[in-house]
Structure 1
């Protein structure tokens, strides 16, 4: 038997549920599990942009007797205590693997207990056995939407949008949201709700008040579809990355909201932030031969690929995606990458494959998570661009990857990093 080392284990749907529900400000999580489980969970949150989950996640601290007897007493007692002590609007009752193994009926417990507490109880009973954290984020987000948005006809505000997608584990969210907010303000567009990270249940109820949902992660497309089914509200998927990508994104937003494309504003932005690598590198520093590999979620991978090829004039030799993108059926992601000239595309690769491709392609530049960056010992320029990055903090809001400022930031970064490794200019 061959033992394959896979590095960091992929987080399960259990973690996706926690990362989603913890972002809702008036939500508290109660786990049915042992104390060690919630301790590990607290540590994992702390590694993601140093987020503290103190007074946010609680455990009912089951012991061996509870497991053997299948007792639900500790769980009920914990839910009542959290409800009376902290008065949250919603309590997420989350099963761990112990719950799933012993077959405790979390859904039934929640139904019977709901009349006894003030908070809305939402059960999550998978225990981490249904799939990856991507599924957990999507399913828990849909559960919350179904709980707080009722089917009906709404009268939305014309120049108001929501943003669907951010969760606490996501890379560089603070900066990217700040730049998206800035771009929308240039168009005179306000933001209603940012879901789920940082919102309240009242703000979730107000989602239908906006005219458009901007979905910034492919795993949130099912959530956009769920809201559209409930309220008739349209959604648009994508991120504004690079000069080319940002202009297309603004054009789509303008069209869907029925406003004029702001040509003068765009030209002013490009004059301020759209400097080219040709103006930054010396003539003795050729860069068109530089090769890049990307290993990050789909929206980053596609947007960065387009920017690297069309705006920077470099090559993308391979792309690694953590899972199959959830984009609409009529958009074949392989064709989209192929149209950019990228044919080496890998979904959910194992470590051996990643290492062999990197060693074979010999790129000078790699955008990836911390684990992949450490694996790629021969790559000169390494740029954090995906979760997990426990050794790289993105708390400051001035380092976006999106929008015109994101283009300027990344262009400045790549110029400085190439200058620090002059050997990359040798063809």
Structure 2
């Protein structure tokens, strides 16, 4: 827990609410004072969904401070159970309400007696973990709860599917281009004749979780959310996982080869190899951008900062596929710093791990790169320093929740990345559209 003007990740309860609101027919009760309940507004504005965000605030006010909140919390849980008929109700405190040190587990057990829905307390330390860590832990907790419940009821599905199938883990609300990436991955697996057994938490119900063991393997495109769940599925049922972001030509080809290693049917393997060969020409060839970079007298220098997953993948892509010199790359994901360093140490001059936006701002000002790739904060920094910036990672503004189709993975993702990289590199000195029609101004 930290008092700050601005942070890259939200507090823990935001992560929990992201997971709960991603599932279908799951309702969250947030035990919090007025002021901590901004998640509803944020999600409604950014995701632009027609349905109301399934989150209710059990307000901590002066009456609660005087009398305790047990009666109020239990009443809110049972009321929502009757009104919404959810499959699961998740109760979460916030950093503020955690100060009260109330026995919320006892509240949950009491409310469960009068509720048809399952009631679960998000087991997260709100003072020590970030939004992403809390999201990962909450997803694991929900999956384990329903796996154990279905084991007890003997309703767990265990027989593997005849046709190759996968679980797509970690797709959630407020993710960076998550919905677009999911659509592209669906199309990709359909072309490979691989079925998608379950995509969760986004769009899944808790009833779908009983069939997780029947998949051949798991896909985790975003390692920040889903690692604990994948380890649990591996330990309990032997379901292995591919944890990588298939962004850019080289990483996407590696991704396909890893998928191929899980397939035992010779016909399926041959089909995938033929598919790769057939579609290699369709893969975006970035050599022309590389030539553009080399044609410049000085090698372009870039700074990249954001989530560990996106930064590590983009660093490799810019260095190996385009030939840009990465003078600094960094992440705010301190919990994943060791993995991050292993991934990027051979592709950049300097590595920075920090949650303080002023530190990265000072480094950008000091190193003066030609281009920045980062979050909305790096975009603000770049604007102030007159350095172009392409947004490649959360946290992001509403313009990075596009209505149009803009994935970051797969074939279409390569095209979108090309546009982003080329425009950021080449349009930094261009005037706005109004000035294009003025003859006196020359556009270089």
What's the TM-score, normalizing by structure 2? 0.85
Task: Give the structure, 1 or 2, with the largest relative contact order (CA under 8 Å, sep 6 or more).
Answer: 1
Determine if contact 2:11/2:95 at 8 Å carries over to the other structure. Answer: no
1:146 equivalent in structure 2 = 144
Shift of 1:56: 0.8
Distance change (3 Å), C-alpha of 1:255 and 1:59: same
Q: What is the aligned partner in structure 2 of residue 32 from structure 1?
A: 31
Aligned partner of residue 272 in structure 1, secondary structure? coil
Q: Distance in 1 between matches of 2:289 and 2:33?
A: 58
Q: Which of 155, 161, 166 does residue 159 from structure 2 map onto?
A: 155
Report Cα offsets for 1:262-284 as digits up to 9, x if no partner: 23322333312322242796699
State whether structure 2 residue 332 is matched by structure 1 residue 322: yes
Would the aligned equivalents of 2:18 and 2:174 in 1 still touch at CA under 8 Å? yes
Q: Matches of residues 225-264 of structure 1 in structure 2 within 5 Å?
A: 225-258=231-264, 259-260=268-269, 262-264=272-274
Aligned length: 415
**What is the match of residue 180 of structure 1?**
185
Change in Cα spacing, 1:101 to 1:289, as seen in structure 2 (3 Å) is same
1:276 and 2:286 aligned: yes
Alpha carbons of structure 1 residues 130 and 270: separation in structure 2 relative to 1, 3 Å? same
SS of 1:108's partner is helix
The aligned counterpart of 1:120 is 118
Residue aligned with 1:217, SS: coil
CA contact (8 A) 1:49 1:393 kept: no
Match of 2:364 among 358, 363, 371: 358
What do residues 66-100 of structure 1 show as CA deviations (whole Å, max 9, x unaligned)? Answer: 12222311111111111111100000111134432
- Please name the residue that 1:385 is paired with: 392
SS at match of 1:149: helix
Q: Choose the corresponding residue for 1:194, options 176, 196, 199.
A: 199
Equivalent residues of 1:96, 1:126 under 8 A apart: no
> d(CA) in 2 for partners of 1:347 and 1:278?
33
SS of 2:326's equivalent?
strand
CA–CA distance in 2 between the matches of 1:325 and 1:408?
32
Change (3 A) 1:250 1:287: farther
Other-structure match for 1:45: 43
Matched, 1:406 2:410: no
Structure 2 distance, partners of 1:375, 1:280, is 26
Q: Does the aligned pair in 1 maintain the 2:304–2:330 contact within 8 Å?
A: yes
2:12–2:94 contact (8 Å) kept in structure 1: no
| Structure 1 residue 28, shift from structure 2 partner | 0.6
Q: What do residues 319-355 of structure 1 show as CA deviations (whole Å, max 9, x unaligned)?
A: 111113549x8xx54233123x324111224233212
Structure 1 residues 29-75: Cα deviation after superposition (integer angstroms, max 9, x where no partner) = 1122334432x222222343335772511123342121222231111
- Report the alpha carbon displacement of residue 111 of structure 1 after superposing the two structures with TM: 1.4
Of 166, 174, 187, the match for 1:169: 174
Q: Distance in 1 between matches of 2:127 and 2:396?
A: 25
The SS at the match of 1:177 is helix
Structure 1 spans left out of the alignment, 5+ residues:
none
Task: Determine if contact 1:370/1:384 at 8 Å carries over to the other structure.
Answer: yes
User: Pick from 283, 286, 311: which aligns with 2:321?
Assistant: 311
CA distance in 2, matches of 1:283, 1:349: 31
Look up the match of 1:212: 217
Using the TM superposition, give the Cα deviation of residue 300 of structure 1 relative to its aligned residue in structure 2, in angstroms: 1.0
